Amino acid sequence: MEAVLASRRPRRADAARNFDALLAAARDAFAEKGAQASLEDVARRAGVSIATLYRNFPTREDLVEEVHREEVEQLCRAAADIGDLPPWEALAAWLRRFVDYIGAKLAYSDALNRTTDSFQAHRKAMRDAGGPLLERAQRAGVANPEPSIDDLLRMFAGISTVEYVDDAQRERVLRLALAGLRASPVDR
């Protein structure tokens, strides 16, 4: 995963702090205003100059891509972190984390160039992270044996993009999807 999702993060401590501050500020600005949030606002929120922003991210696309890369990396890391849970719990926890990732990505998804090699590498990294969790749950007989990881990512991405009346409705829909994925006692 690390070679595929290589970061531009500088090694020097002060430069790395600025880089991290810019990413955090960009995430917040994108969540509030979408990917077209003002880069000056991002720099101001990070407490750095606009020149520092451009030194780290020469284009808006570079900044959006790095925010996306970081989100994917966290999602992939989550798969490794929950690997010791029982098979169903691990899969369900990771899919919930995937739903959160989609929610964060929606703020800037229109600015992502989906044809780049890095975007395709990010998609592959997510499949590679979630696939073993699904396969383990299927082998244990606790997940429906039919779907592939790509099926699940598409289904849960769709669930994530729908507008809900409130968080309770969103949670009910997510629980229904997970219940549909879980193998019934007859299937075991």
Cα separation, 60 vs 51, in Å, equals 13
Token match 């991405």: residue? Answer: 157
pLDDT tens-digit map of 114-164: 677 777 888 899 999 999 999 999 999 999 999 999 999 999 988 888 888
From residue 63, give the alpha-carbon distance in Å to each of 56, 115, 118, 153.
8, 17, 13, 25
Q: How far apart are CA 64 and CA 31, in angstroms?
A: 12
Smallest Cα–Cα separation from 181: which of 135, 147, 136, 140? 147
β-strand partners of 182 = 143
Q: What is the pLDDT of residue 4?
A: 46
CA dist 102 and 170 (Å) reads 13
How high does pLDDT run on average in the chain? Answer: 87
60-188: CATH topology: Tetracycline Repressor; domain 2 (1.10.357)
Confidence of residue 1 (pLDDT cuts 50, 70, 90): very low
Is 184 buried (19+), middle (13-18) or exposed (0-12) by CB count in 10 A?
exposed
Count of CB atoms situated within 10 Å of the CB of 65: 21
Hey, what CATH topology would domain 8-58 get?
Answer: Arc Repressor Mutant, subunit A (1.10.10)
Q: Rounded to whole angstroms, how far apart are CA atoms 52 and 50?
A: 5
2, pLDDT greater than 50: no
Domain boundaries, the chain: 8-58, 60-188
- pLDDT > 60? residue 50: yes
For residue range 57-74, list pLDDT tens digits in order: 999 988 988 988 888 999
Helix axes 60-81, 117-139, angle to 10 degrees: 20
